Every structure is written in C-alpha cells, then in structure tokens.
Amino acid sequence: MGVYDQGCLNIPLPRCIGELVKAPSVPVSHPGDGNVLDLLIEFGRKYNRDISEIRQACDLAEGYSDLVIILQRPAPRHNYSVDFEKFVADCPTLDAVDKLIRYASKGTRSIETVSVFDAYSFKPGLTAAWPSDDDCHLLLEQMLKFKKPRVVICCWNKGAATCSNEFVGQFVGGGVGNPTIRDEIDIEGCRSVAIRCFHPATAMCYNPYNADYQALLTYHFIAAFSELSYRIHEPWWLEQINTRSMHAIKWQRNDRLDTPDAYDRIVRIFHRIFGMKRIRIYRSMEKKEEMINNFIMRLDNAIYRDGSSHISQLFLLRLFGTIIFIFIFILHNKNRLELRK
C-alpha cells in the first residue's frame, strides 16, 4: 500500500483529509541553490563544526527551491557520522518531516528533494555563545534570498531565544491551533507564501498521544504543497481541530502514560464516542479490559460526532494491552473513517 492509502505519521486519516492531497507541480532547480551550500559550509567552518555535521546540514538544504521548511535548531545529540537516510530515520523530527512531505506530495517528494533549514543553524544549545542568534538569522536570511521559495513552511518559534532580524521575523511559526496560518511575503520582488506551522516535536515527542496535533501538522503540509499548484479552501472541520488543540496545548506537557493511565484514557474516549455523560473507571485491570472489549463490540454500530478524531486517539494508544484489538478493527474498517458533522 502506498503512503497515500495508509494515513500519515502514527494515525489513520479520514477520506476528507486524503481528498485534499494532490501531486504538486514538477520542481525545477534554482540558480541560488549552490550558493546556499557554500554559505552553510563557510558558516560551519567559521564556528569549527565537524565536517560530518556540515555535510548533513548541506544534505538537508540542497533540495529544490520551490518549497523550504524552517525548523528550530539541530538536536543536541545527533550522530552525524551515519549516512543521510539513517540520520533522518534516527531523528523523530526529521523522520516526521519526511513522512509529512511524502504524504502531502502524494509520494512525489521526500526530505531529499525539499530544502530544510534551521532557524539556529549549528546551534543546538539555547545558551551557547556562538554562533549568535543574529549570526544564525543572517545566514537564514541569505539562504532564503538565494532560494526565493514560492512556499515556506515555518516550523519554528524563537521562544526564549532572540530574533532581531526583521526579514527572518516574517517567517516565524504560528504555534499549535493558530487559526491564521497563511501569509504572503515579498522576497526581493518574488512572492512567497508562508505557512505558519509548529515544530513537529510538539506532536511526535512531547504530546505523542494527541491525534489532533498530528492531524494539524498533516493539514499544514498539505496546504503548503497545494500552494505550488493551487490554493485549497480551508475545510469546515479545521476550526474544530484548532480549537481543541489550542485548549489542549495549555494543559498537556511532556505527555507520558503508563498502562493503567492509557486504559483510563481509552475508556474516556469510548464514553465520548457513545455520548455517555457518566464515566465509570475501574481500578482492576481485568475490569478495564472487560469494559474496553465491550465497547469494541459496540463500536461497529456507533454513530458519533468527531468520529475520526476519537478513532485516531485510540490508534495512538494501541500499544497498550488488549487495545491491539482496536488496531485490528480500525484496519478492517479504515475506509469508513470520516469526520462527521
């Protein structure tokens, strides 16, 4: 099965999302591509970075110029000595970006063919003295002006760092649940569309059991790639996901579960699916499993609001105990998953 049929990241996706995906126009090389690599090499050498680290940064940045993704900063413990494929696979953020690119481009692009920059290049630590934030942003400004991308996916935020560069400040991400994600920006006379996204680690590392964050990331990437051919109209269900995400991000930090907590969360999701106002939680694991199995048997005949969102939440919890039965059920009935009004 191709990536288009399997959903994206760790969740199944309903047809209404999949129907938004179209293959983008064929990319072309840009005269400024080589200049970007020269800038990165010079910058890395200036701050005594290892040649393997410089090489990986260049591999990320040498994709086509039509679409650029801006991430925050390199992870502090990368193994730069491995080949590029393993380098991407070993990093949850880069692996997620690769999967998002493949899905949003209907399998025609990958992280190898899309330019990926860091807002704070060669600066994994927030408090590191060198390179300075201003130096990093001057590099980013130069790379963007050489590439002149038609679309920029902005997956970063300055947070506790600084950003005094007015040009780069136009490309700051919008955060989780931001209702306005699209802006048009001028890059030396060329129109560029900025899609204000959030960092993939928010969904993949810090809140791995919130399906709304993964669905939002997927939509942002679909919207970005669609700009290469046409602009999609914002779907009606996006406002619901934005609202839930903005509420959730205020309360969920470093979301981690043990097995009993996971079972309790699963039970609460089933209560929402069936519209049950009174939630009964058992302490006994046997009782928890019995209740979940009973819910599974009833799920096939359920008609409920926000069906795809709840099913995706269950899918993320599938590694806990008998929830594997839910996983099997979802695979068997995946074509029925829809966002329902």
106 neighbors 2 (Cβ within 8 angstroms): no
> Can you tell me the mean pLDDT for 126-147?
91
Range of lowest pLDDT (13-17, 203-207, 216-220) = 13-17
Let me know if residue 341 belongs to a domain: no
In degrees and rounded to multiples of 5, residue 131 shows phi and psi of -70, 155
Q: What 3-state class would DSSP assign to 13?
A: coil
What range defines the domain where residue 240 resides? 3-249
Tell me the per-residue pLDDT of 160-179, one tens digit each, with 9 for 90 and over. 788 899 999 999 998 887 88
Q: Residue 1 pLDDT > 60, yes or no?
A: no
pTM given for the model: 0.78
- Do 212 and 307 fall into the same domain? no
- Do 291 and 196 fall into the same domain? no
Distance CA 270, CA 266 (A): 6
- Do 277 and 304 fall into the same domain? yes
Residue 314 CA from chain centroid, whole number: 19
Greater confidence, 305 or 265? 265
Identify the domain boundary among 225, 249, 273.
249
Distance CA 229, CA 141 (A): 25
> Can you tell me the mean pLDDT for 143-157?
95
Tell me the per-residue pLDDT of 286-335, one tens digit each, with 9 for 90 and over. 666 666 566 655 655 555 445 555 555 555 455 444 444 454 454 445 44
Q: Residue 198 pLDDT > 80, yes or no?
A: yes
193 neighbors 151 (Cβ within 8 angstroms): yes
Distance CA 261, CA 207 (A): 15
Greater confidence, 252 or 117? 117
- Do 180 and 279 fall into the same domain? no
C-alpha dihedral sign at 20, 26, 32, 34: positive
- Do 122 and 223 fall into the same domain? yes
- Do 74 and 212 fall into the same domain? yes
Write down the pLDDT at residue 34.
Answer: 80
Confidence of residue 205 (pLDDT cuts 50, 70, 90): confident
Distance CA 112, CA 33 (A): 14
